[in-house]
């Protein structure tokens, strides 16, 4: 009789252990990264990250068959350059997505209003820019909800569909929660170290980094705190247009993905 009781207990312990392992693995942090594009060949994130993005409907690049670019900016705080960036985008008729934090919404609401008024998308970069994998489910939901509600309050934008995870850190759990809240993760396939404000290297550095990595379908990440980016942006856009590239919005990218992969959505 004791032996019969022992076997179910062993099985129960096994399943508990497996469930604990699954829970731990689902929150294992991942740091976004990729092999950079060059010679107009797309960046590659690798099998593991490709599988995760596909599973959760996330995106980091568009079609490699079309010379289209998706311009995105991360806005954690204002450094005096965003107004000029918006001027360039308006003059060049280029759409962009700005991923904003709570700090940005609170300190420069007039710029966020202008983004929406001029036809750009405002996306979610979390309220306080934490490592989401260290936060509970409820805290993550609150981080996202506060950004959405404050953006709607100051701009009237009622929907918020795109999320860029703070610090580029994410997990299976955080991606699943974002999906439940109606968000698509937007990563990137072209970026460089542009956010350290006291280590700017000149407009030519920003220009060259973009040009050597550019590829069809690129999701380009720039930080608006960068003086280099602000000074190089007009030339970047002008010269990419000369190379036959067109600038599209993330909404265009989503429509394209839905047509190509209808079962994902």
Report the alpha-carbon distance of residue 228 to residue 135 in Å, rounded: 34
pLDDT digits (tens, 9 = 90+) for 232-261: 999 999 999 999 999 999 999 999 877 666
Q: Which residues are catalytic?
A: 74, 223
For the chain, percent of residues with pLDDT exceeding 70: 88
- Residue 230 near residue 197, CB atoms below 8 Å: no
pLDDT tens for residues 110-134? 999 999 999 999 999 999 999 999 9
pLDDT digits (tens, 9 = 90+) for 53-72: 999 999 999 999 999 999 99
pLDDT of residue 256: 82
CA 62 to chain CA centroid, nearest Å: 13
d(CA 42, CA 71): 15
On whether the CB atoms of residues 238 and 92 are closer than 8 A, the answer is yes
User: Which CATH number is associated with domain 46-260?
Assistant: 3.20.20.370
10 pLDDT exceeds 50?
Answer: no
Phi-psi group of 71: left, alpha or beta (phi > 0 → left; psi -120 to 50 → alpha; rest → beta): beta
Helix axes 109-117, 82-92, angle to 10 degrees: 10
Domain spans, the chain: 46-260
Span 6-16, mean pLDDT?
Answer: 44
How far apart CA 171 and CA 27 sit, in angstroms, is 5
pTM to 2 decimal places:
0.88
* pLDDT tens digits, 196-214: 999 999 999 999 999 999 9
């Amino acid at each position: 009789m004791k032996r019969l009781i022992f076997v179910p207990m062993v099985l129960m312990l096994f399943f508990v252990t497996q469930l604990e392992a699954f829970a731990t693995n689902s929150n294992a942090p991942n740091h976004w990264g990729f092999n950079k594009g060059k010679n107009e060949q797309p960046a590659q994130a690798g099998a593991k990250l490709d599988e995760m993005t596909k599973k959760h409907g996330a995106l980091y690049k568009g079609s490699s068959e079309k010379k289209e670019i998706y311009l995105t900016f991360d806005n954690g705080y204002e450094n005096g350059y965003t107004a000029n960036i918006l001027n360039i985008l308006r003059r060049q008729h280029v759409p962009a997505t700005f991923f904003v934090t709570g700090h940005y919404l609170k300190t420069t609401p007039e710029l966020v209003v202008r983004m929406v008024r001029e036809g750009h998308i405002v996306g979610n970069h979390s309220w306080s820019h934490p490592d989401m994998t260290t936060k509970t489910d409820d805290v993550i939901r609150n981080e996202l909800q506060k950004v959405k509600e404050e953006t709607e309050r100051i701009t009237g934008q009622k929907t918020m569909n795109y999320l860029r995870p703070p610090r580029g850190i994410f997990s299976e759990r955080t991606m699943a929660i974002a999906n439940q809240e109606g968000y698509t993760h937007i990563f990137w396939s072209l970026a460089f170290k542009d956010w350290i404000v006291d280590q700017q290297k000149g407009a030519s550095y920003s220009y060259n980094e973009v040009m050597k990595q550019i590829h069809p379908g690129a999701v380009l990440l720039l930080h608006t705190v960068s003086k280099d980016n602000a000074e190089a942006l007009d030339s970047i856009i002008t010269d990419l247009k000369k190379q036959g590239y067109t600038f599209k919005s993330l909404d265009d990218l989503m429509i394209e993905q839905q047509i190509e992969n209808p079962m994902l959505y």
